[in-house]
Amino acid sequence: MYLTKIRDITAKELKLPVSDVTISVPAWFTDVQRRAMIDAGEIAGLKVLRLINDTTATALGYGITKLDLPGPEEKPRRVMFVDIGYSDYTASIVEFRKGELNVKATACDRHFGGRNFDKALTEHFADEFKEKFKIDVRSNPKAWSRTLAAAEKMKKVLSANPAAPMSIESLMEDVDVRAIVKREELEVMVKPLLERITVPLEQVLAEAKLTIDDIDSIEMVGGCTRVPAVKDAVAKFFGKGLSFTLNQDEAIARGCAFSCAILSPVFRVRDFSVHDIVNYPIEFTWEQSADIPDEDTSLTVFNRGNVMPSTKILTFYRKQPFDLEARYAKPEMLPGKINPWVGRFSVKGVKADANDDFMICKLKARLNLHGILNVESGYYVEDMEVEEPVPEENENGEVSFPFP
């Protein structure tokens, strides 16, 4: 429904039917979430040319129009993208050279964003209203949500002003409420939150094996990076100024538009390759072959940080059909209670050859452009022994071929 609405709005604006799209998703989306997003696109009558990670889309929008990127042999330009939105905080380090970008590392705090600020303010008002006006908004969902909406508005005002008022008429039990909050007061309320701000920044630097000095610029996007205390905390961590050259609200959509234009045959766009990385390691497991008792039964095929898209060839020696399973190797990294199981693949048509020897089965495991795993094709390599005539040498050193 949501995608259909977006499709209709876009078609109306462009005065053209819309079919091909690039959709951005958080970098922490798993295989099943990505498949669901593609299915949702199809149900809405859209052809999803690519799912792209949010900050990768931002990076594409940033890089594709830059004419001063280093050449292929030069030191790349390293940019840290910091995106803090409503519920989610992502930091990515991306290296740029002419015509390409490489994501080096991505770290997320899935529970950090504007809504945490709104909640802290609302909790403050709930206490204040109880004391001053003798009403308990925690006991009344409607009053709570009206307070929450007023808190969000107030938070935005406080980004540009030292103090902000709020008043809600007849909040509950016919009581009108009013309050004033200063920016410093808000900053005290969200202090525990602000203390978490450096965590993803430290993580992403450690994963990319880089230091603050290696980062050439820090690009801030997402609505919550308008909060002065957030800006200050990030700037303090880096010890240098932040860049706000991208449109904070539209940077991802702009990157998606470029990505879609690159993939669509309808547009001509400057070549720009995008290399993302695997965020969750994937391992394959299989049943041991009865004929090979010392065979391993699992292997991490895609490691965290592997370039994506990526294809790996797995080789098995088998005399019978067999199955293999793919799962996320580190379930504790996955969001919520997502099942680490990714898929089961059956390899059919396997049999021993005429000499009762193993068939060599080669399987192509591919993490595609969308970050979705498939075992694309299996093929069998048959070892054939061909007898060839061997030249015979006489005592004079002459070579002759035996009569066939």
Ligand X SMILES: Nc1ncnc2c1ncn2[C@@H]1O[C@H](COP(=O)(O)OP(=O)(O)OP(=O)(O)O)[C@@H](O)[C@H]1O
* For helices 2-14 and 31-43, angle between their N-to-C axes, nearest 10 degrees: 50
Site string for ligand X, 243-272 (x = CB under 6 A): ------x-----------------------
Q: How far is the CB of 260 from Mg ion (least distance, A)?
A: 18
Is residue 114 close enough to count as binding ligand X by CB under 6 A?
yes
80-109 positions binding ligand X, by CB under 6 A = 85-88
- Choose from Mg ion, ligand X, none: what does 198 bind? Cβ within 5-8 Å by kind: none
Using CB under 5 A, pick the residue from 85, 114, 340, 371 that binds Mg ion. 85
The residue sitting closest to Mg ion, measured at its beta carbon, is: 85
Give yes or no for residue 255 binding Mg ion (CB under 5 A).
Answer: no
Closer CB to Mg ion, residue 50 or residue 124? 50
Radius of gyration of the chain (CA): 29
Q: Is the peptide bond before 402 cis (omega within 30 degrees of 0)?
A: no
Q: Confirm if 246 and 64 have CB atoms less than 8 A apart.
A: no
Cα dihedral value 106, 96, 274, 256, nearest 10: 80
Helical axes 228-238 vs 198-208, angle rounded to 10°: 30
In the list Mg ion, ligand X, none, the entry touching 76 (Cβ below 5 to 8 angstroms by class) is none
Q: To 10 degrees, the CA torsion angle through 218, 224, 230, 231? A: 40
Q: How many CB atoms neighbour CB 225 within 10 A? A: 21
Q: CA-to-CA distance for 272 and 269, rounded, in angstroms?
A: 8
Q: Which of residues 135-154 bind ligand X (CB under 6 A)?
A: 152
Q: Interface with Mg ion includes 114 (CB under 5 A)?
A: no
Residues in 177-236 at the binding interface with ligand X, rule: CB under 6 A = 222-224, 226-227
Closest approach, Cβ 236 to ligand X, in A, equals: 19
Smaller CB distance to Mg ion: residue 94 or 375? 94
Residue 86: CB minimum distance to ligand X, A: 3
Query: Could you give the C-alpha distances from 38 to 20, 131, 216, 247, in angstroms and in order?
Result: 12, 50, 35, 27
What span, in angstroms and rounded, lies between the C-alpha atoms of 210 and 197? 18
| Residues making contact with ligand X (CB under 6 A) | 85-88, 113-115, 152, 155-156, 159, 222-224, 226-227, 249
